[in-house]
Every structure is written in C-alpha cells, then in structure tokens.
C-alpha cells in the first residue's frame, strides 16, 4: 500500500505555531511556524515514518477514527494523507546516466530541432509506465 490517511493532533503554541503528533504512529511528531507550515511538516514526518515502516517490513498500524480521538480543549485533529511512492520519488530524484542507440538520421534531426533528449526520454518513460 502506498497511500495512507492518519489523524494528526495539532496543539497551538504560544508563538503562533503548532506542534503535531500522530496518536497511531509512535515517535511521529512535527511542528511548524503557522498552520500551513505545520501541515507541510506533518505530511513530511508521516511520510518519513511510513517509508521506514515499509522498508523495514514493520507492521503499519491502522489509523484511528478521527471522531474518537481524545484531545485537550485547545487542540484539533486533522487527517493527513500521504503517498509513499510519491514521497520516494522526491527523495530519489538523482539523475542516472543511460547510454542508448538511435539511428544517425534521427539524431541529426533531433539535434537540429534543439530537442532535449533527456526530457523526451523521461516523458516517454512516464507515459509508458502510466506515471503522471
């Protein structure tokens, strides 16, 4: 499974930021300077933890029902959705050199047209693999 949705508990901080914890994922915490930053950091923290669970073949806990989570008066819960396949792509985006062969006439036409070979190959591979 690559897509997960977990409830996160947001606790307001005195400086205007938020602390975030995931009641279902031990040790998964985040914080941010404001709500938008806290949501981004919560997404990143949950992604890191779930990628680690997947890689180490640890059991991934079931998410709690957001309506049954106990919170303090000033806290609120929000569902965080992550996709570990997408997250892995952001982590592993290093270029890899590939050698390939094409007919000379096709090479000359593409060079003359100013075509970026790497971009064309990436686009073609994404299309072939149904990755958009």
> Considering the chain, what percentage of its residues have pLDDT values greater than 70?
96
pLDDT one-digit tens code per residue, 16-73 = 999 999 999 999 999 999 999 999 999 999 999 999 999 999 999 999 999 999 999 9
| CATH class of domain segment(s) 3-91 | alpha beta
pLDDT at residue 21 in the model: 96
In order of 44, 47, 64, 85, the CA distances from 25 in angstroms are 13, 11, 10, 19
**E strand spans, the chain:** 3-12, 18-21, 29-32, 76-83
What whole-number distance in Å separates Cα of residue 21 and Cα of residue 31?
9
User: Is the pLDDT reported for residue 98 higher than 80?
Assistant: no
What is the model's pLDDT at position 132?
Answer: 62
User: For residue 118, which of 97, 94, 89, 88 has the smallest C-alpha distance?
Assistant: 97
From CA 20, how far away is CA 43, in angstroms rounded?
10
**CB neighbours of 117 closer than 8 A, spacing ≥ 6?**
110
Domain ranges for the chain: 3-91, 95-132
Please give the pLDDT value at position 70. 93
Residue 109 pLDDT > 80, yes or no? Answer: yes
């Amino acid at each position: 499974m690559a897509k997960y949705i977990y409830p996160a508990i947001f606790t307001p901080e005195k400086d205007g930021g938020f602390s975030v914890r995931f009641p279902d994922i031990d040790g998964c915490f985040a914080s941010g300077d404001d709500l938008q930053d806290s949501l981004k950091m919560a997404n990143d923290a949950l992604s890191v933890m779930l990628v680690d669970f997947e890689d180490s073949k640890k059991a991934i806990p079931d998410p709690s029902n957001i309506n049954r989570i106990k919170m303090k008066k000033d806290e609120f819960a929000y569902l965080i959705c992550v996709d570990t396949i997408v997250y892995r792509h952001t982590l592993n985006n290093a270029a890899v050199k590939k050698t390939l062969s094409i007919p000379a006439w096709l090479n000359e036409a593409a060079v003359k047209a100013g075509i970026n070979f790497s971009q064309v190959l990436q686009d073609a591979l994404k299309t072939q693999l149904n990755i958009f």
